[in-house]
A and B are shown apart, each in its own frame.
Chain A
Amino acid sequence: MIIILATMETEGSEAGENGARFSRLAIEYAKKYQGKIQTLPKVPVKSLNDFSIWYTPGVAAVSLEIAKNEDLSFEMTWRWNSVGIVTDGTRVLGLGNIGPYGAMAVMEGKGLIFKYLGGVDAVPIPINVHDKDEIVKVVKAIEPAFGGINLEDIESPKCFYLLEKLSSEMNIPVWHDDQLGTAGATLAGILNALKLTGRIPEKTKVVFFGSGAANIATVKLFKAAGFDLKNIVMVDSKGVLHAEREDMDSLMKNNPWKYELGLQTNGSNIKGTVVDALEGADVLIAASVPGPGTIKGEWIRKMAKRSIVFALANPVPEIWPGEAKRNGAEIVATGRSDFPNQINNSMVFPGVFRGALDSRTKKINEKMIVYASMELAKFAEEKGIDENYIIPDMTEWEVFPRVAAAIASKSVEEGLARKKATREEFYLRAKEIIEKNREIIEKLMNMGYIEDIGR
């Protein structure tokens, strides 16, 4: 596969034009369709008498059964396949704190991807509550309705507290996609990039540029995947993070997660700026502020030979792939679909939740996510990886049931699954559900119930 990278100027102007076009169309279609998802019955209604079974009086018997054994809610109601997408609207995409009403449009989009790629019934729940302990109360209160919770677009460091607290106190899996989805996709891409450049996780030096939710979660996941934290250096707007940095006490108070990483990472006690950190580094993972020019080409030249650069800021990566390559990077990934190697959490969460729901797991732990990332990497490897293909893209939908089976079987192994089956059984079930949902959507489009976009 040959991909010719455009020059910096073209890369930049195309990004601008596309962005404006997508915005215009999104507004036009939002007005036309007035929402992106809806509920539909999954039982036959041939006459109104059928409601005596689906609703009262018949349904009372079902309720009594479930009341006696709550786990039956996974067998006798839609709970087994439903996920609540909860946001307080404090960090919506790159827009910042736009509040829960504005966040709804994004959550609907998320719901659509959940359905289309994972066959999951996901319900957007933007909430008008911002205090962290109040959010905990709200999310715990809706546990009976769902088989899983996807936290979305919640500001850092609140998001760390919520994920930790809710995961430990709820009996359904809680996921924060901005942390875990991004971390899972990044790990998958890196695993293949390491294979291609002859490296192993244990000895790879990684610099993380930007210390927001995504990168903090990614560092933690890298640790679970066998990377040595001492070989990892985190950099933020104040420079290299190290145990004696002036603001460490402040971090201890305000962001203990970052504080802990300040203590555990950077074994060589590097101080200074990102340039100092990049000297001889194998991998750069940037999730900071949009570029171009956030990362300079000359910095890449400081890195080890055959370096790996992930520039994940959206909508414009910290450095254009062409520039990174001209300065010595062998493998470059971004967050964008118009360049090779898109690191996209949509490759992770639909499969993860499919598997989590199918195994009725109580939690999704780090081991399970690492396992899912490895499966994602393996899928690409089986097809043949090269510098422009280190991770599958969204068109390769066959990967989602594979990720689902990885999550579900690991959940059984970890003793977290309510429902046990073999990896093969989980795979076939996930495949069947995802295929069926895609068919339903296709049929609805063919029959005109989902109106054509008219282009």
Chain B
Amino acid sequence: MEIKIRDLEENDLKEATDLVVRLKKFNSEHDPLFALTEDLDNVVMKYLKESITMDSRDVLVAEEEGKIVGIVLAEIVDRLFYQPLKEVRITELYVLPAYRKKGLGKRLIDEIAKKEKKKGCNIITVEFPNENLLAHKFYTSQGMRSIICVYGKML
């Protein structure tokens, strides 16, 4: 069965929301500062819906026979002080467990990179909870390295 990667459409919103919610729940396990917002499902769905029409955000989904099995969300960030001036930042990448270890995560990254390169982005970054060791391992394997640290505490 072939897995297609394409832009997010309105019809996908329910399934796509489920995948992003799974990722957010997983993030919340890594640090109490990622405690989940109330009404998470609706917030995620609204965010995804807006992304369909926004220029500065892109969402790609991986689809197998009508089923959404993976998703990548990216934002375009302007870099005022550094070069290159435009960056694509992956904020979410999720693949359903049964579809992992088949190169799908890499395909999603490659596709979003290709798409944003056309929009003038010459650097790709990704954000994830620092304690997510599996993510460190995965992105390192994709030739990326840690370039910025964000520290935090409750006020």
Residues of chain A whose beta carbon lies under 8 Å from any beta carbon of chain B: 243-244, 246, 248-250, 252-253, 259, 262-263
Contacts and interface: CB of A to CB of B under 8 A. Distances in A.
A250 B98 contact: no
Given A252-B134, A253-B134, A262 B25 contact: no
Nearest to B26: A249
Contacts of B97: 243-244, 248-249, 252, 259, 262-263
B29 interface: yes
Nearest to A254: B29
B22 interface: yes
18 contacts: A243-B96, A243-B97, A243-B98, A244-B97, A244-B98, A246-B25, A248-B97, A249-B25, A249-B26, A249-B29, A249-B97, A250-B25, A250-B26, A252-B134, A253-B26, A253-B29, A253-B134, A263-B97
| 10 nearest A-B residue pairs (beta carbon) | A243-B98, A249-B26, A248-B97, A243-B97, A263-B97, A250-B29, A263-B98, A249-B22, A244-B96, A253-B29
Interface of B: 22-23, 25-26, 29, 96-98, 134
B132 to A, nearest CB: 8
Nearest to B23: A249
Main secondary structure of the interface of A (DSSP, over half): helix
A46 B26 CA distance: 70
B96 A246 contact: no
Which of A246, A249, A262 has the most chain B CB within a 10 Å cutoff? A249
A397 B23 CA distance: 54
Given A243-B97, A263-B98, 13 more contacts: A243-B98, A244-B97, A246-B22, A249-B22, A249-B26, A249-B29, A249-B97, A252-B97, A252-B134, A253-B29, A253-B134, A259-B97, A262-B97
Nearest to A259: B97
A246 B29 CA distance: 13
B10 to A, nearest CB: 23
B13 to A, nearest CB: 18
A250 B26 CA distance: 6
Main secondary structure of the interface of B (DSSP, over half): helix
Contacts of A262: 97
A244 B97 CA distance: 7
Nearest to B98: A243
A161 to B, nearest CB: 14
A6 B98 CA distance: 46
A102 B22 CA distance: 41
Contacts of A248: 97
A318 to B, nearest CB: 29
A247 to B, nearest CB: 9
Which of B25, B26, B97 has the most chain A CB within a 10 Å cutoff? B97
B18 to A, nearest CB: 9
B69 to A, nearest CB: 10
A243 B25 CA distance: 16
A244 B134 CA distance: 19
A214 B96 CA distance: 28
Contacts of A249: 22-23, 25-26, 29, 97
A244 B96 CA distance: 7
A249 B96 CA distance: 9
A253 B29 CA distance: 10
Contacts of B22: 246, 249
B23 to A, nearest CB: 8
A253 to B, nearest CB: 7
A253 B134 CA distance: 8
Which of B23, B29, B98 has the most chain A CB within a 10 Å cutoff? B98
B30 to A, nearest CB: 8
Contacts of B134: 252-253
B123 to A, nearest CB: 28
A246 B21 CA distance: 10
Contacts of B98: 243-244, 263
Contacts of A244: 96-98
A425 to B, nearest CB: 45
Contacts of B23: 249
A142 to B, nearest CB: 30
A252 B22 CA distance: 13
A45 to B, nearest CB: 57
Contacts of A252: 97, 134
A146 B2 CA distance: 54
A47 to B, nearest CB: 63
Nearest to B101: A263
Contacts of B29: 249-250, 253
Contacts of A246: 22, 25
A262 B22 CA distance: 16
Nearest to B29: A250
A367 B143 CA distance: 39
B119 to A, nearest CB: 31
B130 to A, nearest CB: 14
Nearest to B131: A253
A244 B22 CA distance: 10
A250 B134 CA distance: 12
B104 to A, nearest CB: 14
B20 to A, nearest CB: 12
A256 to B, nearest CB: 10
A243 B22 CA distance: 13
B100 to A, nearest CB: 8
A246 B19 CA distance: 10
A262 B100 CA distance: 13
A51 to B, nearest CB: 55
